[in-house]
Amino acid sequence: MNKAQLVEAIADKLGGRQNAAEAVDAVLDAIVRATVAGDRVSVTGFGSFEKVERPARYARNPQTGERVRVKKTAVPRFRAGQGFKDLVSGTKKLPKGGEVAVKKAPKGSLSGGVTVKKAAVKKAAAKKAAVKKAAAKKTTAKKTTAKKVTAKKTTAKKTTAKKAAAKKATAKKAAKKAPAKKATARKTATKRTARR
């Protein structure tokens, strides 16, 4: 089914071909514009349209087998809703006549685009704020950890320096005492020899 056939299929329900063509154009335009803007368009029971970012990658040219660099790009994605999947797989039967095959949206869920956009903007702002808070916590944690490590290193250096200074002082005292002991031993030895 192409666009003209789709218009013909719904023309009876909308009161003429012109009205049907305008309705189809309006619906498709709204879906395309919202998807291009990065919003997710979800139709209850039918499916959702969204914009997906594909990162840069390498691919192979199927004719030559040569490796080719593919730039990053954004592509549209459609995911079928559960009701649509059930109808296509045959687990549910299509209703006869002009009944709606796809679930209707719950009451109160249909609102103006402005409200939906504001809600989406608020959600995006909340996500950004949460990401910023998380990044700030990580940065603070890293700084705190770095300070603790630096403090430990400084303390260790000071302790090592104190120990080294204490060892030097002990060595100096021992060096001073050693000649004094030798001199005392000499004096004692000379006194003993003198007495004999």
pLDDT digits (tens, 9 = 90+) for 122-156: 666 666 666 666 666 666 666 666 666 566 666 66
Burial (CB count within 10 angstroms: exposed 0-12, middle 13-18, buried 19+), residue 176: exposed
Structurally, how many domains does the chain consist of?
A: 2
Asked whether residue 98 falls in the same domain as residue 124, the answer is: no
Same domain, 127 and 190: yes
> Average per-residue pLDDT in the chain?
77
3-state secondary structure the chain: CCHHHHHHHHHHHHCCHHHHHHHHHHHHHHHHHHHHCCCCEEECCCEEEEEEEECCEEEECCCCCCEEEECCEEEEEEEECHHHHHHHHCCCCCCCCCCCCCCCCCCCCCCCHHHHHHHHHHHHHHHHHHHHHHHHHHHHHHHHHHHHHHHHHHHHHHHHHHHHHHHHHHHHHHHHHHHHHHHHHHHHHHHHHHHC
Q: Structural domain of residue 13, as residue ranges?
A: 3-111
Helix pair 3-14, 17-36: axis angle to 10 deg? 120
Q: Is residue 116 pLDDT above 50, yes or no?
A: no
Percent of the chain's residues with pLDDT above 90? 38
* The pair of three-digit structure tokens given for residue 45, joined into one six-digit string: 């029971």
The strand pair at 73-80 and 47-54 is best described as antiparallel
Residues 74 and 57 occupy one common structural domain: yes
Give bridge partners of residue 60 from the DSSP assignment: 67
Strands 57-60 and 73-80: unpaired
Q: Are residues 139 and 103 in the same domain?
A: no
Tokens 């104190």 label which residue? Answer: 162
- Give the pLDDT band (50/70/90) at residue 93: confident
* 100 in the same domain as 128: no
- Pick the more confident residue, 15 or 159: 15
34 & 61 share domain: yes
Note whether 28 and 85 are same-domain residues.
Answer: yes
Say yes or no: 148 and 97 in one domain: no
Query: Tell me: the pLDDT tens digits for 51-85?
Result: 999 999 999 999 999 999 999 999 999 999 998 89
Label residue 114 by pLDDT band (50, 70, 90). very low
CATH number for the domain including 63?
Answer: 4.10.520.10
Together in a domain, 70 and 34: yes
Q: Please give the pLDDT value at position 139.
A: 60
